[in-house]
Amino acid sequence: MREGETLRGVIVELQKGGVVRGVVRDGQGEPVAGAQVFADAGTEFKADFAQNRRRGQFQGPIPGPDGTMGGPAGRIGRPEDLPAGMGGMLALLGLFGDRSVLTRPDGSFELGGLALGTHTIYASHREYVLARSEPVTLSADTPAPEVSLILSRGAAIFGTASDRFGRPVKGAIVLALSPANLSGGGNSTGGGIYQGNTDADGRYAIEHVSAGGYFVMLTRGDQGLNPLSFLGTLNFDLVNVPPEERVQFDIVDTSLGACRVSGFVTAAGQPITAGSVAALGFESESLLGVDFKLAQIGADGAFEFVGLAPGEYTFQVTTVERGRAPDRVPLTVEVPDLPEARIDLQLPQGGLEGTVVARDDGQPIEGCDLVLSRDDVARPAGLFGELLSRDNGVARARSGPQGRFRFERLSAGEYRLSLRPPRRVAGGQALAQPEPRRVVVLEGEVLVDLRLELAPALSLRGAARNTRGDPLEGVEVVATSRIAGALPERAKTDREGRFVIDHLAPGIYDLSAGKDGYAAAHDKGRVLTEAGAEECVLVLSQGVEARVRVLSAQGEPLPGASGRLVSESDAGGMFGDAGRMLSRMFAGQGVSNAQGLLSLGNHDPGKYTLEISRGSLRASRAVELVEGPPVVFTVRME
């Protein structure tokens, strides 16, 4: 239609929608009044953010039609397409509009206007954890289905916050953040983030929490509530929250009563005018084994940490400068046990540059990931510290259109350069990962014209099966070269249990295969030549389930401890173990619960070393698994 004209004769056809009836009760069977009930109906559900803002239900920016912030009426998508941790959050903000109803005093509800088809019904209430129904089907030929939803009070996290001298921290913010629930990989009805505050005695409590693994973080902003100020006082640890349990977690704020560190960041005598400084302390007593603080670099190159506990830190300086890619430069810094200290950071000027080409025809290779690492850096303990240590002293780059790569601002020393080729190059050819190269960087000098040649790739093929010979789908198979510094290559098995690991060069490889509910399988010393290698079959047995009861020095159950079993033949599996352990923790597994019980998964019978850790506490002992029922070991952390 044209501007100013009136369009007449428009006919709008309305179709009769489906209805769902039901009741919402608590865990004791009592009705819950005022619960918000909504469904996943509709393929493009639109929330009227502007209307909800006028009602005072929503104060944030308005998403645009493409999902970005800034439009007048946002399109969220279906609730089942949202991360599980977001559904309840949006419901509590009133963002499901007319697609939701409130339960009556007797807990009953009637939700109408739904499209015919299959739906999931949700119930949300501020005093409970989000509940969801099994899928229900609406059709024109059947009566409205009846749905019963049970709201749980959930678990709780409580404790005290104190500084490193034992004094209470009041007025601080405590957040419990679940990466698994926010991403949709955790509790199917779990919330993603919860908040509490400390009182005058430093006490806090976060109620109605879904089961799962959480980062529990304490932080304090400055008087201007600069967003980055919260990262400058951040204290965090990983806590496992079992269903319906109250978990006590006491927090020590290491930034209070600590050293105020300030200074300037310069490069070649000129100030860095934008970026940040991350302080990573690997002497933390937390389960994660790392302390993290972040400070912003000002326009004059100045930075400041409100408080850092004394000890050695890695300062990761990230620079943002016009005309060049962001740099991340690691520097080792010793923080004194003083009220304040000035520490100026001068970025090194060493460098390395070169070209990646195909060996056979000399064509440049774009998209190679290069990793430059040093061996003389701190290797911290603790689960998260172990993972972060993989990046401690590590620089990364990617080859450009002409195969060129460049590393800048390197400190003098000996480095190991590893490379992972792109999955495929022109013509669909796969290239092999080359042997890591040793390079020496001198102070203030740039090593140029380094040439890396990539040969055609070889592949390892095989299958994963159970002890009955049945194929196993979804088994992760990792091939690790015997050459130091080589990056592991991995693949997952398909429905037939088969796998192909590409990008391999001739050499000797150790294979490992893992899947939940099975003991890991290994095939060590498999030789791969230009002629290829025989297909291997990895057999995964159910093995023996190992459990641990972790006790404190006083003999009381100790929650929050992690552990693993290491066989005499295991080598170099630290990173893979830590990654799997962290994933299990985010799913609410992998650490001891309130009763001190910890499951270590399934393992083959044999002799192992049992390693348990909780912050700075460590315990290790020799154990043996014998085929049969689950085995429970008891460990006292002295």
How confident is the model over 402-439, as pLDDT tens digits?
999 999 889 888 999 999 998 777 667 789 989 999 99
User: HSE-up of 239 (CA within 13 Å, CB side)?
Assistant: 29
Query: How far apart are alpha carbons 271 and 528 in whole angstroms?
Result: 51
Q: Is residue 59 predicted with pLDDT exceeding 50? A: no
pLDDT band at 180 (very low <50, low <70, confident <90, very high): low
Residue 314 phi, psi (nearest 5)? -100, 115
Query: How far apart are alpha carbons 423 and 410 in whole angstroms?
Result: 28
> 486 vs 61, which has greater pLDDT?
486
Closest CA to 604 of 525, 514, 524: 514
Rounded average pLDDT over 511-530? 88
Q: Which tokens sit at 419?
A: 């490379």
Most confident of 217-221, 251-255, 347-351: 347-351
Query: How far apart are alpha carbons 329 and 316 in whole angstroms?
Result: 6
- The Cα-based distances of 100 to 93, 385, 435 in angstroms read 12, 44, 60
> 49 vs 477, which has greater pLDDT?
477
pLDDT at residue number 57:
37
Q: What sign results for the dihedral spanned by CA atoms 304, 309, 310, 314?
A: negative
Rounded average pLDDT over 96-116? 84
Helix count (H) and strand count (E) of the chain? 6, 48
Contact between 598 and 547 (Cβ < 8 Å) = yes
pLDDT band at 66 (very low <50, low <70, confident <90, very high): very low
pLDDT at residue number 298:
92
pLDDT at residue number 88:
55
Residues 6+ apart with CB under 8 A from 286: 236, 237, 238, 382, 615
Query: How far apart are alpha carbons 523 and 251 in whole angstroms?
Result: 44
Query: How far apart are alpha carbons 623 and 632 in whole angstroms?
Result: 11
Rounded average pLDDT over 1-11? 73
pLDDT at residue number 82:
53
> 613 vs 459, which has greater pLDDT?
459
pLDDT band at 574 (very low <50, low <70, confident <90, very high): very low
Closest CA to 237 of 252, 207, 217: 217
Rounded average pLDDT over 225-250? 73
How confident is the model over 610-636, as pLDDT tens digits?
988 775 677 889 999 988 889 999 999
Q: Is residue 577 predicted with pLDDT exceeding 60? A: no
Residue 305's identity, in one-letter code, is F
Q: Is residue 93 predicted with pLDDT exceeding 50? A: yes
Query: How far apart are alpha carbons 244 and 27 in whole angstroms?
Result: 11
Strand order across the beta sheet in which 631-636 lies: 597-603, 544-551, 631-636
Going along the chain from its start, the domains and CATH numbers come out as 18-43+78-151 (2.60.40.1120), 155-253 (2.60.40.1120), 259-347 (2.60.40.10), 350-454 (2.60.40.10), 458-540 (2.60.40.1120), 544-636 (2.60.40.10)
Query: How far apart are alpha carbons 97 and 86 in whole angstroms?
Result: 16
Query: How far apart are alpha carbons 421 and 423 in whole angstroms?
Result: 6
Query: How far apart are alpha carbons 408 and 13 in whole angstroms?
Result: 65
pLDDT band at 502 (very low <50, low <70, confident <90, very high): confident
pLDDT band at 222 (very low <50, low <70, confident <90, very high): low
Strand order across the beta sheet in which 458-466 lies: 498-504, 458-466, 536-540
- CA angle 591–551–581, rounded 5-degree value: 15
pLDDT at residue number 70:
36
pLDDT at residue number 599:
84
- The Cα-based distances of 529 to 41, 168, 483, 490 in angstroms read 56, 64, 15, 19
pLDDT at residue number 76:
44
Q: Which residues of 87-118 are buried (b: 16+ CB within 10 A; e: fewer)?
A: bbbbbbebbbeebbbebeeebebebeebeeee
Closest CA to 344 of 302, 400, 283: 302
How confident is the model over 291-326, as pLDDT tens digits?
888 899 999 999 999 889 898 888 989 888 776 667
Query: How far apart are alpha carbons 173 and 164 in whole angstroms?
Result: 17
- CA angle 568–519–466, rounded 5-degree value: 130
- The Cα-based distances of 515 to 497, 518, 565 in angstroms read 12, 6, 16
How confident is the model over 240-272, as pLDDT tens digits?
777 788 888 888 888 877 899 999 999 989 999
pLDDT at residue number 69:
34
Closest CA to 611 of 381, 283, 284, 380: 381
pLDDT at residue number 576:
45
Query: How far apart are alpha carbons 273 and 511 in whole angstroms?
Result: 48
Rounded average pLDDT over 479-487? 86
Length of the chain: 638
pLDDT band at 185 (very low <50, low <70, confident <90, very high): low
Rounded average pLDDT over 145-160? 91
pLDDT at residue number 53:
39
Q: Is residue 28 predicted with pLDDT exceeding 80? A: yes
Report the chain's mean pLDDT, rounded to a whole number: 80
SS3 560: coil
Q: How many CB atoms lie within 10 A of CB 383?
A: 24
pLDDT at residue number 305:
92
pLDDT at residue number 561:
77
pLDDT at residue number 61:
38
DSSP for residue 517: T
How remote is the C-alpha of 288 from its chain's centroid?
13
pTM: 0.64
Strand pairing class (251-253; 458-466):
unpaired
pLDDT at residue number 87:
55
Q: How many CB atoms lie within 10 A of CB 30?
A: 9
Residue 357 phi, psi (nearest 5)? -135, 160
Q: How many CB atoms lie within 10 A of CB 302?
A: 16
pLDDT at residue number 97:
52
pLDDT band at 355 (very low <50, low <70, confident <90, very high): very high
